[in-house]
Amino acid sequence: MAQRCKITAVYNTPMVDYISKTDYAQFVKDLRRRDPSAITQLYNTYADRIYSLVFHQVGRNHEVAQDIVQETFVAALKSATKFRNKSKVYTWLCSIANNKVSDFYRRQKRQAKYQISEALEPDQIGDETLAAATTEPTERQEDAKQALLSLPLHYRQVLIFKYIEEMPVLEISKIMRRSPKSIEGLITRARKELRAKLATASEG
Amino acid sequence: MAGFISEGEIRELLKSVCPPVAPSSEFKDQLLQDLTRGAEGAPRRHWRQPRFLVPIAATLISVAIGYGIWLGQAAQATLTP
C-alpha cells in the first residue's frame, strides 16, 4: 500500500491523486474516522507536495514552511470528519495550506515588526532539495525569483497553482474560494504584473 | 528581453525557479509521529460525542420518569378498593 502511494513525480503529473480509485473511497472513509493508517497514507502521499507549494509561497524559507505545513496537517485532521469528498484530497489540503499562508502574512502584517521581505530570508535547511535547485541560477532566473517574490501574495499563489502545479482554473477556484471567472482575471493580472517586473529587471 | 514574454516562457521560467523541494527527514518523521499520536487520542466513537450522548441521556431520564409515574399510578390503582 505504501509503495502505491509513493510520489513518483511531483510536477510532471499534475493533479493526479496518487491513490488508486478503488482505494480512494476507502481511504476517504478511513480519513474521516481519523484512522492512523489513513493519516500516515495522507501524510506520505501529500506532505512533500504541500511543503514544496508552501515553501515557494513564503519566499523559500524552510522554517516558515515547516510551521505552516504542520498547521495545515493539524487543521486537516481536525476537519477530516467534515471532508465530504466534493473535491480531491489534494485540493482540500491546498485550500487549507493556502489559508494558513494567508494567515501567516496577515499575522506578520499585524505584528509589523519588520517587512515581509526581510523576515523571509531564504535558507537551506531542507536536505532533499531536488536536483534542479542545485544548479546555479542564471540572471534571468534570479530576476524571475525576485519578481515572483515581490508580487502580492494572491498573485504569487495563483501563478504557482497555474504554472507550477498546472492546476485547472476550476481547481484553483476551489482552493482560493473565488469564482472561476475571478480566477481567470486574477491570472491575467498576475501574469501582466510579472511580465512588467521582468521587463523592468532586464532593463535595469 | 524587453520583448513580449509568452505564457510558455513564463511557465518554464517559474518552473525553473520553483523546483520541487522536500522537507528534512527529521521534520517529516516528527510531524507524522505527532499527527498519528494526536489521532489515537482523539474521540473516534460517534456515540461518545456530546451531540449523541445528550439525547440518549435525555431519553433514558424520560423513560425512567415515565416508568416512575406509571408505577405510581399502577400502585394507586391496586390499593384503591
Q: State yes or no: pLDDT of A11 exceeds 70.
A: no
Mean pLDDT of the region A103-126: 62
| Structure confidence at residue A136 (pLDDT) | 63
Region of B50 on the Ramachandran plot (φ > 0 left; ψ -120 to 50 alpha; else beta): alpha
Partner B contacted by A75 (CB < 8 A): no
Inform me whether the C-beta atom of residue A189 falls under 8 Å from chain B C-beta atoms: no
Last residue of a domain, one of A79, A112, A129: A129
* Mean pLDDT along residues A123-144: 58
Q: What average pLDDT does range A84-106 have in this prediction?
A: 90
| Residue A166 reports pLDDT greater than 50 | yes
Asked if A28 and A19 count as a contact pair (C-beta separation under 8 A), the reply is no
Quote the ipTM score.
0.73
Phi, psi for B45 (deg, rounded to 5): -95, 125
Say which residues have a Cβ less than 8 Å from residue A87's Cβ, sequence separation at least 6. Answer: A95, A171, A174
Q: Which domain holds residue A157?
A: 136-204
**Of A87, A109, A129, which closes a domain?**
A129
**How does the average pLDDT of chain A come out, rounded?**
80
Q: To the nearest whole angstrom, how far is the Cα of A188 from the nearest Cα of chain B?
A: 10
Check whether residue A73 and residue A173 sit in a common domain: no
> Are A96 and A50 within one domain?
yes
- Cell 476550476 appears where? A170
A157 and A202 both lie in a single domain: yes
- CA nearest to A104, candidates A71, A151, A62, A149: A71
Q: H/E element holding B63? A: helix B50-79
Domain count, chain A: 2
- Res B41: pLDDT: 59
- Of residues A67, A143, A137, A62, the one with CA closest to residue A107: A67
Residue ranges of domains in chain B: 48-81
- Smallest CA–CA distance, residue A165 to chain B, in Å, is 9
- What is the predicted pLDDT for the residue at B40? 65
Cell of B27: 521534520
Q: Which of B2, B13, B22 sits opposite A141 (nearest CB)?
A: B13
Cβ contacts (< 8 Å) between B24 and chain A: which residues? 62, 125-128
H helical segments located in chain A:
2-5, 21-32, 36-57, 62-78, 89-111, 116-119, 131-134, 139-150, 153-159, 169-176, 180-203
Q: What are the chain B neighbours of A70 within 8 Å (beta carbons)?
A: 31, 34
Q: Calculate mean pLDDT across residues A105-128.
A: 58
Q: Which of A107, A129, A151 is the last residue of a domain?
A: A129
Banded model confidence at residue A82, pLDDT cuts 50, 70, 90: confident
Measured distance CA(B21)–CA(B25) in Å, rounded: 12
Residue A170's pLDDT is 94
Question: How many residues appear in chain A?
Answer: 204
Q: What is the DSSP string of A113-146?
A: SS-HHHH-------S---HHHHSPPPHHHHHHHH
Domain presence at residue A112: yes
Tell me the range of A18-27, A92-101, B44-53 where mean pLDDT is highest. A92-101
Q: Average pLDDT for consecutive 10-residue bins of chain B (81 residues)?
A: 77 92 92 82 56 85 94 80 64
**CA–CA distance from A15 to each of A18, A37, A166 (Å)?**
9, 23, 7
Look at residue A105 in the predicted model and tell me its pLDDT. 92
Give the closest-approach CA distance of B6 to chain A in angstroms.
Answer: 9
Query: Could you tell me if A141 and A114 lie in one domain?
Result: no
Chain A residue with CA closest to B1: the answer is: A202
Q: Please compute the mean of the pLDDT values over residues A140-169 and round it to a whole number.
A: 92
Q: What is the pLDDT of residues A28-43, one digit of tens each?
A: 888 888 888 888 988 9
Look up cell 491523486; give the residue. A17
Q: What is the CATH number of the domain that holds A26?
A: 1.10.1740.10
pLDDT band, very low/low/confident/very high, at A24 (cuts 50, 70, 90): confident
**A36:B11 CB<8 A:** no
Shortest distance between the Cα of A153 and any Cα of chain B, in A, equals 15
**Cell 473516534 found at:** B44
Residue A2 lies in a domain: no
The contact set of B with A (CB < 8 A) is 1-2, 4-5, 7, 10-11, 13-25, 27-28, 31-32, 34-36, 38-40, 42, 44
